[in-house]
Chain A
Amino acid sequence: MPLDQSFVGRSYPPSPPYEVGREKIREFADAVGATSPLHRDPEAARAAGYRDVIAPPTFAIIVSLKANDVLVEDPDLGLDYTRVVHGDQAFAHHRPIVAGDRLTCVLHVDGITSRMGNDMLALRAEVSTEDGEAVTTGTCTLVVRGEGA
């Protein structure tokens, strides 16, 4: 069944704060093979002008992926997550994510379109600190494969 168009323009309440830890940054950097000392050594990060170690460019997916749960759990939308494929992903960084940040995410539904039996769900995750400082905007398209596809 196609997704309900009336969800376009909807946003969800901010996600609970996610506290960015140094060791989580190191773990994520290891997982993508990023070797920069700016992910690992607070002194090196400070020398480069940052408050603490910084996260790799795609780290924000951790926060935005958690935020997607509100969509999956919204019974009115009726999204079957087992049929979802990640179509595209982009990040615009207003500043790098830094260890110690407490991040919340507001998820916006920017568009729902239908193409060849598949629904395309355009989402925007606005990631900011608890105090409201904009950090990262993540945008993605989720493709919901139709029953026949």
Chain B
Amino acid sequence: MIRASEVSVGDELPPLSLRITRADLVRYAGASGDFNPIHWNERFAREVGLPGVIAHGMLTMGMAVRIVTEWVGDPGAVVQYGVRFGRPVPVPDDDKGALVEVTAKVTKLLDDGTVKVNVTASFEGKSVLGGASAIVRLGA
């Protein structure tokens, strides 16, 4: 596990590329219990005005936090994590899916030994998670 003394404000975490396919959406629907048809039914998604099937915002959120958990080594070290859902991520009906690029940077060292990490996630160069950040407990 990373120690607080090894971390400075401005440190960039190793970036993460997420490829989200229709199969991922089906798997996440089952795992989370979110069966909203906009995440698996093209016909329904278009009827409600979407460009097609879109990823669950919670799936993007849940995948993006791996940039933090894989860096710190212990997923239980994430004490806070929050995002705003920006533009949707359309997931095409092919094997390549949608590519979401995730970056993260340490922005604050807090007195209790935790650090604040700001996270960005973008699809086709545009942000899909706004104001995303995590507070992470590091080793002493």
Contact = CB atoms under 8 A, between A and B. Distances in A.
Interface of A: 24, 27-28, 30-36, 38-39, 48, 50, 54, 56-58, 61-62, 65-66, 82, 85-93, 95-96, 139
A65 B34 contact: yes
B99 interface: no
A89 B85 contact: yes
Interface residues of B, number: 34
Interface of B: 18, 24, 27-28, 30-34, 48, 57-59, 61-63, 65-66, 69-70, 73-76, 78-85, 131, 134
Contacts of B74: 36, 38, 48
A31 B30 contact: yes
A117 to B, nearest CB: 16
Contacts of B27: 30-31
Contacts, number: 103
Contacts of A32: 28, 31, 59, 62-63, 66
B31 A30 contact: yes
Contacts of A89: 57-58, 61, 82-83, 85
